[in-house]
A and B are shown apart, each in its own frame.
Chain A
Amino acid sequence: MPIPIVNYLALDPQPHLVAQQCTACKAKVFGRHNACPNCFALDFTEVDVPTTGVLKTFTIVHHDAKGVPVPYCAAVIDCGGMTVMGNIIGVDPDPEIITRGMEVQLKTYSLGNDAEGVEAIGFGFEPV
């Protein structure tokens, strides 16, 4: 069984992101929370996040910590009102190609196998 890079990436039946939604005020967050940061209620339900979105802003990182492959495009995507951070993949990290307002779609890719042969799956967004 492959393992996702983060717990809010669901791989089945099709890859998609999963938000925690506050049952009281409907605020959505990623990852484990002790209480809702908006209304302080304690209960969350899981909701699927749309796999397509609009690129709001981006940067192309040329200089990063040793071990991080550069250059890459880091971006903020609006997926049906939910703000998502992710890299733009499948195209050259070039500001002539990547533009604010472009439509993008969630894609997954292999991050390789660990010592026990378990494959990890990452995600990014490709221009539609």
Chain B
Amino acid sequence: MTENVWILGIHMTPFGKRADKDVLDLAAEAALAALKDAGVTMRDMQVMGYGNLRGQTSGQSLQKQIGQTGIPSYNVSNACATGSTAMRAVMMSIKSGESDMGIAVGVEKLYGAGLLTGNDVGSGPETWTPQGRNGAIKNLDGYIGTSGMAGLFAQIGMAYNNSDPRANFELFARISEKSHSHSTLNPNAAYQNKMSLEQIMNDPMIAYPHTRSMCSANCDGAAAAILVSESKLRTLSLEQQRRAVKISASVLASDPWTEAAQEFPDVSTVTRNAATKAYELAGVGPQDLNLVELHDCFAAAELVHYDNLQLCEPGGAIDFFNSGATWRDGKTPVNVSGGLQSKGHPIAATGIANIWEVATHLRNEAGPRQIEGAKVGMAHVIGLGSSCTVHILEKSSL
């Protein structure tokens, strides 16, 4: 048996427009606050995991700002799952016995970035020249489907449960209505304003059925976590032990072969596989979860993940949502942070930020948005292409 790994300290910076700080400032803000929260210093860290997908910074560049002790940094890149993958790198180091404490940091500056697939396709070559594995003679975006994320996830949602016609514009907008309502209680969210169904549906259309307020918000932000082995944790103060959060399951998976997914991304099979393994590792079931932060990069994505994470009966996500189960006063509150649609989605920070949200409830420190009595929670992240992390966290019983 390898050791259990715990979260000793964790922090998420406010998300939004952070014009006063550069990438390393934000990473340092999260890292220093997480260290303080854990009651330790860089001297105690033996390993670092670092993710900054769109910037050019590394863990080493962060160490030059907060403490250079010579520890290794795993600089990871795993699309939207970058932060949670960085955390897993630290966790694997602890599980292997190579270290007993480490720090994971995810950071991104995305405010005003526009389309993440690029904002200009250019005029193309003077002569048609086949390029790449498909021998494409031009950028295929807009000619053979879309490479835009809002459109890709719209199609994923519209295909739900064999293209159920009830998976429609209004349903997805109501999911967004929940996200924006939840965000009013989160002072760290990039957008904290409540939005009516009408406001959401009348917002500018990005890719039907996703209007602007149904898309994850590009913003700046960072999150960091301090992980510790259980045996090391038991040597620390009772207060540190009481506030520590147990990582009952940590799973990272890639999409397995399915014929359909060769052409069109399949975020469902990989999520289902990762969740199944996570439940098995943690020894808990979906009915035990007091809250879930799932990867609602777009409103339609949230619907399919109710099913993929097995929060509802197979094929039952629409009825599950319609029952009110995923509102903060429902049976399985989902994205009480406001989710990526409201809280924001600074890509490499998201994987740790979702874990921070769940951990904060398990510590009973979530203030006005606290889910009372939360003991077990789940954090899920998808990186298109596709990777998936699922973490199941439990309140300390030490």
Q: Which residues of A come within 8 Å of B, CB atoms?
A: 3-8, 27-33, 37-38, 56-70, 72, 74-76, 81-87, 95, 100-101, 111, 114-116, 118, 120, 122-123
Contacts and interface: CB of A to CB of B under 8 A. Distances in A.
A59 B130 contact: no
Contacts of A70: 142
A7 B130 CA distance: 8
B159 A67 contact: no
B43 to A, nearest CB: 46
A84 B263 contact: yes
Nearest to A93: B208
Contacts of A5: 136-138, 140, 143-144
Interface stretch (B67-75, B81-89, B254-262, B350-358): B254-262
Given A67-B121, A69-B142, A61 B151 contact: yes
B136 A57 contact: no
Contacts of B158: 57-59, 100
B165 interface: yes
Nearest to A120: B128
7 contacts: A6-B135, A8-B134, A28-B259, A38-B257, A59-B207, A64-B146, A122-B143
B64 interface: no
Contact of A59 (B119, B136, B155): B155
A65 B141 contact: yes
Contact of A66 (B119, B151, B155): B119
Contacts of B348: none
B112 interface: no
A45 to B, nearest CB: 16
B193 to A, nearest CB: 22
B145 interface: yes
Nearest to B159: A57
B205 interface: yes
A67 B155 contact: no
A120 B135 CA distance: 12
A101 B163 contact: yes
Contacts of A6: 134-137, 140, 144
A83 to B, nearest CB: 4
A124 B374 CA distance: 51
A64 B146 CA distance: 9
A100 B362 CA distance: 42
Interface in B94-123: 115, 117-123
B63 to A, nearest CB: 37
Contact of B159 (A37, A64, A76): A76
Contacts of B263: 30, 76, 83-85
B135 A65 contact: no
Contacts of B144: 5-6, 85-87, 122-123
A20 to B, nearest CB: 10
Given A68-B141, A95-B169, A57 B155 contact: yes
Contacts of B138: 5, 111, 120
B285 interface: no
A87 B141 contact: no
A48 to B, nearest CB: 16
Contacts of B133: 31-33
A87 B145 contact: yes
Interface in B128-187: 128, 130, 132-146, 148, 150-152, 154-156, 158-159, 163, 165, 169
Contacts of B119: 65-66
Given A59-B210, A70-B142, A76-B159, 4 more contacts: A62-B204, A95-B209, A111-B138, A116-B127
B206 interface: yes
Contact of A75 (B155, B165, B204, B257): B155
B57 to A, nearest CB: 26
B20 interface: no
Given A59-B208, A68-B121, A100-B165, A37 B143 contact: no
Contacts of B118: 65
B373 to A, nearest CB: 40
Contact of B208 (A62, A85, A120): A62
Contacts of A122: 143-144
A65 B260 CA distance: 26
B137 A67 contact: no
A22 B158 CA distance: 30
Nearest 8 Cβ contacts at the A-B interface: A7-B135, A68-B142, A57-B159, A59-B154, A85-B145, A60-B208, A83-B260, A74-B146
A68 B118 CA distance: 11
